[in-house]
Amino acid sequence: MSGQVDELPRATRGGPGTGIAVAVAVLLGALALDPVFAARTWLLPVTMVVAAVGLGGVALRALLDRLVDAAEDDGPWWSGPARLAVPLGQVALVLVVLTVVFTPDRAWAGVLPTLDSLTDLAGLLGDGTAEIREQATPALPLTGLVALTTVFVALIALAVDLLAVPARQPALGGLGLLVLYCVPVSTVTGEVALISFAAPAAGFAVLLWADQRARLVGSGRGGSGSPMGTGTLPALRTGLVALVAGLLLPAFVPTLAEGSLAAGWGGAGTGNGVGTSLDPVAEMAGQLSLPEPIDLLAVDASVADPGYLRSVSLDEYSGDVGWRMTNLDGQASIAADGPLAPLLDRQSSREVTARVTVLSHDDRFLPLFDSPLSVQVLGSEDEDWRFDPAARTVFGRDVTTGGLAYRFTSRQPQPSAAELAAAPQDPGDPMVERYTALPELDPSVVALSDQLTDPAQSPYERVRAVLGLFTDPANGFTYSLSTGPGTTGDDLADFLRLKRGYCEQYAGAMAVLVRAAGVPARVVLGYTPGQVGEDGDRVVTTDDAHAWVEVWFAGLGWIPFDPTPIAADRAVALPWAPRTDEADTSGPDPFTPGGAAPLPAPPAAELDRDDQYVPPLAAQSAPEEQLRPWLLGAAGTLVVLALAALPFLLRRRQRAARLADGQPGALWEELLATTVDLAVELPGRSTARQLAQQLAQRLATTDPAAVAAVQVLARAQERSVYGPPAARPSPDPALTAALATVRRALLRSSSRGERVRAALWPASTLATAARWAAARAPRRPRPA
């Protein structure tokens, strides 16, 4: 009787098709977010979580069905509660995927979430909400934002999956896609890209197809073996209507002029402090995040080693946003008489002239060699270009460098180490007060500074000590496109602890430590001088973007120091600040070194902008540091593989034992187990004779010999169970041979996939386990 009752829920469960349709639909829906981001790196983790939800749900439900089927009891008591466990399992899978992608460092074996890794994840999500407030669309796919997006899409996938599979209302899942669609509609300024409504509409069509199919199968019109085409036409029809509605809907949805992510996602955005609309960095970032470097400037310099091209200096540090620029002084223009930024008298220096042709550069700030004496911008009014003597920056007033050419003369400081060492500490110098200002620092930073430096030392000794911290390989600082995930809440402290980052963190951290040691310092953004091209000009590309430090020495002025371990061909020789790792010129910087610094922000080079999301495989750095998680991961993989291989091994042992036994009963059990492994459909309660008949029908066309063999096996089994004791058959090689024949024929009649699955993941072991469990589980009392 209960067999009858059992038929009903199974037919209406929807099967794996619906689960997969949900995954595809949500993924299509998530494509709507494409215009929200500047790069597509967010797509991988989102795909992974959606796959985890969709395929994980399918797998969990299939496993459950199989367990229920295998249980002796029809519809065991635990089948109801177990169904509730499916969403929990999906959530767990999502957590694992999030851990693998975002916080593997503190996870168990890099895979299983621990309390620490979950805390990290929560921190990341916190960063994400902050980034929503800060960033405008298209947003940089920074780790926090990507993590938040991933969680967001995962929740939608879960909701759609719940609606579509257990609740059997796939069409309602369209609401989830609508939510995804609303994100670009409400955040992206101007027109919404085609993909934003086409993709969710296609996803909705997939859901409708699944809906129709489930309905037809449920009502019996499609039958259990209904072709995939069932319901395609109605789904297409409805999908077309949805597409048209999607085209019309944006016309009626008010778009927000700000185009702020925060506006769309419910945050209370305050925006960036300094003129976002004039911010040259948005362009630089946009270009820098392109995979191919873009040529920015062609520089014809009078010397072979011209040093850094300076764009802008950042003079104010705050714990929240990092280094940024205070106001620029636009009083003077480059047309003024006399040298713009004369060096102090005692300085050893050399004169450099250069002619720069702008290729793709388009910025407010004019990249110049230090320290500019005169600048002529060709094809532009001199009055439009202002000079801030304090920052020593030339910047355009309402003009940018796009398409210009300019000529300039500079005097580069060439101090000797002795001169620098002789520079006195001058507490009365106003520069000291201005350029040593710091907010309250994390205690660990202060402690580090105290440990490195001693007020009794000369300023130069202190600066060298701080520089040594970063450049001495013994200290373990490595170049990386991303910093490690922070935990202390203070990005600077995190960088100093995790020792991974790129130029901005290096420069920012050194400047802070130098200031903490009482020496005036600031961060400078600009370019390394690029490579010499075919025509003798140096070509500066987006890859050359860089950040370094300038330190003020009384009587000498601003002297550059560079703590970042950049590639040797880019490095600029600074004799007064030798790098202790000079010998080690190979390694670091496998990728766009300075370009990796997508300089999110002059005028706000924030330390926390380093964490632009990079796909996990790309983030390779010092092997010794990475080795442990890898080893743990490998060990974990081995354990998982061993566990996965367990059914295979158990089944092999079982098979060998049964063949060695040779009794008809054992051989019959083995034959049945083989059919279970190969998913051969056989009636549930049957006699040996009936089963043999079924198998014979299946094999009749392919292998007549096997038909006879299966009959032999069945007869022997019957006789051994029901025959008179005197006539019981004994182990017989012919029977074993018959089993081999039948097994071969069964394997031949199955598809390749079934064979592989039967070998690696034999279902019969699962059924055995389920029977074992069912035999020990408390039974539901039967109605008498």
* Binding stretches for another protein (CB under 8 A): 1-4, 72, 74, 665, 668, 672, 682-691, 717-724, 727, 782-784
Residue type, 589: D
The alpha-carbon radius of gyration of the chain (Å, integer) is 35
Nearest to 758 by CA among 659, 698, 674, 644: 674
**Long-range contacts at 583-592 (CB < 8 A, ≥ 24 apart):** 584/473, 588/478, 588/479, 589/479, 589/565, 590/620, 591/481, 591/618, 592/288, 592/293, 592/542, 592/543
Question: Least separation, in Å, of the C-beta of 254 and another protein?
Answer: 59
DSSP, res 446: H
- Minimum CB–partner distance for residue 1 and another protein (Å): 6
Q: Which amino acid is at 676?
A: V
Question: How far apart, in whole angstroms, are the C-alpha atoms of residue 530 and residue 543?
Answer: 9
CA–CA separation, 633 vs 108, rounded Å? 8
Q: How far is the CB of 726 from another protein (least distance, A)?
A: 9
Q: Which is nearer to another protein, 221 or 689 (CB)?
A: 689
Is residue 33 within 8 A of residue 739, CB to CB? The reply is no
Q: Cα(534)–Cα(250) distance, rounded to whole angstroms?
A: 51
Three-class DSSP category at 538: strand
Closer CB to another protein, 312 or 673, in the complex: 673
Nearer to another protein, 4 or 701 (CB): 4
Question: Shortest Cβ distance from residue 217 to another protein (Å)?
Answer: 23
- Closer residue to another protein (CB): 3 or 271: 3
Nearer to another protein, 2 or 331 (CB): 2
CB nearer to another protein: give 685 or 752. 685
> Both tokens of residue 167?
């609740």
Helices (H) and strands (E) in the chain, counts: 25, 19
Q: Which is nearer to another protein, 536 or 683 (CB)?
A: 683
Report which DSSP code applies to 340: S
* Beta carbon nearer to another protein, 67 or 185: 67
Least Å from the CB of residue 640 to another protein: 33
End-to-end CA separation in angstroms for the chain: 13
Minimum distance of another protein from residue 734's CB (angstroms): 20
Instruction: Supply 510's token pair.
Output: 């050194």
Instruction: State in angstroms the smallest separation of the CB of 209 from another protein.
Output: 35
Taking the least distance from each CB to another protein, the nearer of 725 and 733 is 725
Cβ-based nearer residue to another protein, 623 or 724: 724
Q: Where are the alpha helices (DSSP H) in 165-313?
A: 174-187, 194-218, 232-252, 261-265, 281-288
Beta bridge partners of 351: 411
Of the two residues 441 and 680, which places its CB atom closer to another protein in the complex? 680
Do 133 and 267 meet the contact criterion of CB atoms below 8 Å apart?
A: yes
CB of 657 to another protein, least distance (A): 19
Q: Which residue has the tokens 């291989």?
A: 645
Pair of tokens at residue 696: 């014979």
Within 13 Å, how many C-alpha atoms sit on residue 490's CB side? Answer: 16
- Closest separation between CB of residue 727 and another protein, Å? 7
Provide, rounded to whole angstroms, the least separation between the CB of residue 698 and another protein: 15
Closest distance of CB 720 from another protein, Å: 8
Residue 240 corresponds to which amino acid?
L
Q: How many CB atoms lie within 10 A of CB 470?
A: 26
